[in-house]
C-alpha cells in the first residue's frame, strides 16, 4: 500500500472515530429523548386551532380586566352607598383574594400576554424544529446519523490499514475510500435537502425566546401568577358575586342581567372563566413538566454551542471525506499510462 493511501486511510479512520464519539461525548442520546418529550407535550399548544383559542381566551380575560378596573369597580361603591375607601376596605376584609388579585392584574396579565404572543410568534419555529431530521422521523434518530457512518468508516479504514500491512490486496482500502466518498456526499447534500440549517436556526430562536421562562425560577413565577388568578376567580364567583347581588337586593338572575347590561365584558369574562382557566392551567402544567427537557434541548450539541453548529458537523467532515477519498483513490491507481519507453525496456531486461 502506498504511503499516500495509508495516510488517507488513517485520516478517514480518525474522522470515523470522531463522528462515532461525537453524540456519545455530548450526551446527545439523552438530549434528543428530552426533545421528543418536549415536542410531544407542547405540540398541541402550537396547533393553529389551539393558538386561536389561547388568543381568544387571553383577549377575553384582558377585556374583562380592563372594564372591571375602569368601570365596574368605580361604579359599585355608589351602587352600594359607600365611599371608594369604604368599598376598598369592604372588599379587603371580606374578599381578600379578590382584592389582592385585582391589585395584581396589571402586572400579571402583561406576562401572560407576552407568553401568548410568544406562542404565536414562535409557532413557525416550533414546527420547523419539530421536523428534525424529517417530518416522518423522530429526533431520536439524529445520534445514529453520526454513530453508524462513523463506525462503518472507522472499521473499514482500520481493517484496510491492517490488511495493507500484511500485504493483502488493496480491495478493502478502495472500499473504505469509496465508502468515505459516499458518506461525504450524503453529509454534504442531505443537510441542504432536509433544510437542516433552517431547522437548527429555528431551535436556536425557540430556546432564546422561551429560555427565561423554562427555568425553575421562571416556571415558579408563572405558577404563582396562575394561582393568584385562579384563587381570585374562585372567590369572585363563589363569594363576591353572591354577596354583591345580596347587597344590591337582587337575585342571581337579576344581578347577571344587571352586569350584562352595564358591564358586558365583565359578564362575558366571568361566564367563561371556568373554561378559560383550565386551558391556561394545562399550559402552565406542561411548562412545569418540561423544564428539564427544555434545558436538554437548549444544550444541543453542547451548552456553549448553538444548534446551528450541527450543520457544520455534517458539512465539514463530508467535504473532508470527499477530498480524502478522491486523493486516496487517485493515488492508488496502478501506473500504466505515461511510462517511458526506456522504463519499459529496463523492465523487460
What pLDDT sits at residue 171?
74
In the three-class reduction of DSSP (H, G, I as helix; E, B as strand; rest coil), residue 305 is classed as: strand
Nearest 5°: the CA angle 112, 117, 121 is 150
Show contacts of 270-276: CB within 8 Å, 24+ apart: 270/64, 270/236, 270/237, 270/241, 272/57, 272/60, 273/61, 273/233, 273/237, 274/237, 276/57, 276/60, 276/61
Chain centroid to CA 182: 32
What pLDDT sits at residue 346?
39
In the three-class reduction of DSSP (H, G, I as helix; E, B as strand; rest coil), residue 215 is classed as: coil
Q: Give how far Cα 134 sits from Cα of 141, 199, 205, 225, Å.
A: 10, 10, 19, 38
In the three-class reduction of DSSP (H, G, I as helix; E, B as strand; rest coil), residue 302 is classed as: strand
Question: What nine digits make up the cell of 181?
Answer: 466518498
Question: What nine digits make up the cell of 287?
Answer: 411548562
Rounded Cα gap, residues 258 and 94, in angstroms: 22
Q: Give how far Cα 81 sits from Cα of 87, 92, 242, Å.
A: 9, 17, 18
Cα end-to-end distance, the chain, whole Å? 26
Spatial CA neighbour of 164 closest among 6, 345, 332, 347: 6
Element containing residue 229 per DSSP (H, E): helix 216-235
Query: Tens-digit pLDDT profile for the chain (349 aa)?
Result: 688 889 999 999 999 999 999 999 999 999 999 999 999 999 999 999 999 999 999 999 999 999 999 999 999 999 899 999 999 999 999 999 999 999 999 999 999 999 999 999 999 999 999 999 999 999 999 999 999 999 999 999 999 999 877 665 667 889 999 999 999 999 999 999 999 999 999 999 999 999 999 999 999 999 999 999 999 999 999 999 999 999 999 998 999 999 999 999 999 999 999 999 999 999 999 999 999 999 999 999 999 999 999 999 999 999 999 999 999 988 665 544 444 444 444 344 3
Question: What nine digits make up the cell of 293?
Answer: 427537557
Burial track 215-226 (b if 16+ CB lie within 10 A, e otherwise)? eeeebeebeebb
Contacts of 156 (CB under 8 A, 6+ apart): 16, 172, 175, 176, 179
Q: Which 8-state DSSP code applies to residue 168?
A: -
φ, ψ of residue 335 to 5 degrees: the values are -90, 100
What pLDDT sits at residue 340?
46
Cell 418529550, residue? 37
In the three-class reduction of DSSP (H, G, I as helix; E, B as strand; rest coil), residue 80 is classed as: coil
pTM of this prediction? 0.87
Provide the phi-psi class of 167: left if phi over 0, else alpha when psi is between -120 and 50, else beta: left
Cell 475510500, residue? 177
What pLDDT sits at residue 2?
82
Amino acid at each position: 500500500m502506498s504511503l499516500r493511501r495509508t495516510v488517507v486511510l488513517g485520516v478517514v479512520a480518525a474522522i470515523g472515530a470522531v463522528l462515532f464519539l461525537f453524540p456519545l461525548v455530548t450526551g446527545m442520546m439523552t438530549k434528543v429523548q428530552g426533545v421528543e418529550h418536549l415536542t410531544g407535550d407542547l405540540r398541541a399548544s402550537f396547533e393553529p386551532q389551539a393558538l386561536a383559542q389561547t388568543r381568544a381566551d387571553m383577549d377575553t380575560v384582558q377585556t374583562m380586566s380592563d372594564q372591571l378596573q375602569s368601570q365596574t369597580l368605580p361604579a359599585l361603591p355608589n351602587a352600594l352607598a359607600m365611599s371608594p375607601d369604604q368599598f376598598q376596605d369592604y372588599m379587603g376584609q371580606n374578599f381578600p383574594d379578590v382584592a389582592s388579585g385585582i391589585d395584581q392584574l396589571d402586572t400579571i396579565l402583561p406576562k401572560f400576554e407576552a407568553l401568548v404572543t410568544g406562542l404565536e410568534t414562535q409557532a413557525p419555529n416550533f414546527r420547523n424544529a419539530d421536523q428534525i431530521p424529517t417530518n416522518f422521523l423522530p429526533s431520536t434518530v439524529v445520534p445514529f446519523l453520526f454513530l453508524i457512518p462513523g463506525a462503518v468508516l472507522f472499521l473499514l479504514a482500520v481493517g484496510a490499514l491492517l490488511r495493507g500491512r500484511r500485504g493483502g490486496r488493496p480491495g478493502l482500502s478502495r472500499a473504505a475510500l469509496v465508502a468515505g466518498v459516499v458518506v461525504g456526499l450524503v453529509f454534504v447534500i442531505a443537510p441542504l435537502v432536509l433544510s437542516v440549517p433552517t431547522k437548527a436556526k429555528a431551535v436556536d430562536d425557540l430556546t432564546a425566546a422561551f429560555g427565561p421562562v423554562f427555568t425553575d425560577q421562571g416556571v415558579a413565577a408563572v405558577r404563582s401568577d396562575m394561582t393568584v388568578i385562579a384563587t381570585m376567580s374562585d372567590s369572585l364567583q363563589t363569594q363576591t358575586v353572591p354577596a354583591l347581588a345580596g347587597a344590591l337586593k337582587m337575585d342571581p338572575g337579576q344581578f347577571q342581567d344587571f352586569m350584562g347590561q352595564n358591564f358586558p365584558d365583565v359578564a362575558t369574562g366571568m361566564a367563561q372563566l371556568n373554561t378559560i382557566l383550565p386551558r391556561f392551567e394545562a399550559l402552565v402544567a406542561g411548562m412545569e413538566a418540561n423544564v428539564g427537557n427544555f434545558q436538554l434541548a437548549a444544550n444541543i450539541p453542547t451548552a456553549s454551542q448553538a444548534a446551528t453548529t450541527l450543520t457544520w458537523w455534517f458539512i465539514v467532515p463530508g467535504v473532508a471525506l470527499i477530498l480524502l477519498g478522491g486523493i486516496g483513490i487517485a493515488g492508488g491507481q496502478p501506473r500504466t499510462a505515461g511510462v517511458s519507453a526506456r522504463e519499459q525496456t529496463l523492465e523487460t531486461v
